[in-house]
Amino acid sequence: MDAARQRWLEAHPYLAPVARLDEAVAAALADASPAPAVAEPDWEAYLPDFQAGVPLLRSAAAGLDLSSAVGELLGVLVERLAGDAALPEKLREGCRSLAEAWRAEPSEPARAAGWVLSGEGKAPAQPGLLQYLAWSAAARLLAPVAATFAEWRDEARWGHSQCPSCGALPVMGRLVPGDGVRERQLACGCCGTRWSFQRIGCPYCGNADSGRLSILEAEGEGGLRLDLCEECKGYSKTLAGEGDPALLLADWTSLHLDVLARERGYQRKGTSLYEL
């Protein structure tokens, strides 16, 4: 465990259970080497869809189908987590149930992955657990493609609040350090993509009236704050300071701020993999 993560957990000990799950999934994915290959999208064919606001994973023209590859990693994850004594029994039991069912039906992991990635079809057993595990696997597989996508896409032509990779609404944002007016990025809680967005405005309802937008600073939280919208009562967690982006944009590291927002009457409208 790196020093920044250790300090964060010492200051927020109630996050330890979800931190253990995050570590267990990361270790299982690291052991699943080499990762299944993912073909490069057809960028030229995808361009019209991109310009029309269609996210990469929802574009048939891009030809990027992750279902089989994510399904392969899902199988590894549930087998590994089912036997991890450091995890809660309820979670291990969910993984054991999935593993047993999938041994009898080898095509089920890919089907489950397809449901998670597309949101279409009949929900499989253990949907919440599968959402978390499948997106964890997808984020790993997408990493090389996401890097190319970030260089390829024209952020000014995107301009949408939903993730350009998977279409999810953001759970977090970041004000990128720099001179003058800082660029605002949004961060996807599913696939981990970050993208540029307008500096002022609610990413959920589009409200740009400064009188209906406010900020709740969080003392001692590594530069994290809550950006609040009085129009739709939504909020986004925003890294406005110099804290470690890899740690503080992970969503799970700031679940206590989601609780703080809910206590004040605001609603989490972004797509999160964590239940409150």
Q: What is the CATH number of the domain that holds 199?
A: 3.90.1670.10
Report, as an integer, the average pLDDT of 230-235: 97
Rounded Cα distance between 266 and 14, Å, is 22
Q: What is the CA radius of gyration of the chain?
A: 19
Do 185 and 139 lie in one domain? The reply is no
Those residues whose C-beta lies under 8 Å from the C-beta of residue 72, and which sit 6 or more positions away, are 36, 109, 110
- Write down the pLDDT at residue 220: 85
Q: How confident is the model at residue 238 (pLDDT cuts 50, 70, 90)?
A: very high
Do 241 and 170 lie in one domain? The reply is yes
The gap between the terminal CA atoms of the chain, to the nearest Å, is 25
Parent domain of 143: 11-152
Q: How confident is the model at residue 72 (pLDDT cuts 50, 70, 90)?
A: very high
Do 221 and 191 lie in one domain? The reply is yes
Q: At which of 152, 186, 205 does a domain end?
A: 152
Do 32 and 68 lie in one domain? The reply is yes
Question: Position 153: which residue type?
Answer: R
- pTM assigned to the model: 0.92
Do 20 and 79 lie in one domain? The reply is yes
- Answer yes or no: is pLDDT of 91 > 90: yes
Report, as an integer, the average pLDDT of 207-218: 94
Report, as an integer, the average pLDDT of 112-116: 94
Rounded Cα distance between 232 and 227, Å, is 12
Do 123 and 74 lie in one domain? The reply is yes
Q: To which H or E segment does residue 261 belong?
A: helix 255-263
Q: How confident is the model at residue 180 (pLDDT cuts 50, 70, 90)?
A: confident
- Answer yes or no: is pLDDT of 13 > 80: yes
Q: How confident is the model at residue 245 (pLDDT cuts 50, 70, 90)?
A: very high
Do 111 and 165 lie in one domain? The reply is no
User: Could you tell me if residue 42 is inside a domain?
Assistant: yes
| More confidently predicted of 61 and 1 | 61
User: Could you tell me if residue 99 is inside a domain?
Assistant: yes
Do 27 and 134 lie in one domain? The reply is yes
- Write down the pLDDT at residue 178: 75
Do 161 and 129 lie in one domain? The reply is no
Q: How confident is the model at residue 228 (pLDDT cuts 50, 70, 90)?
A: very high
- Answer yes or no: is pLDDT of 84 > 90: yes
62: nearest Cα among 81, 74, 72, 48? 48
- Write down the pLDDT at residue 38: 85
Calculate what percentage of the chain has a pLDDT beyond 90: 82
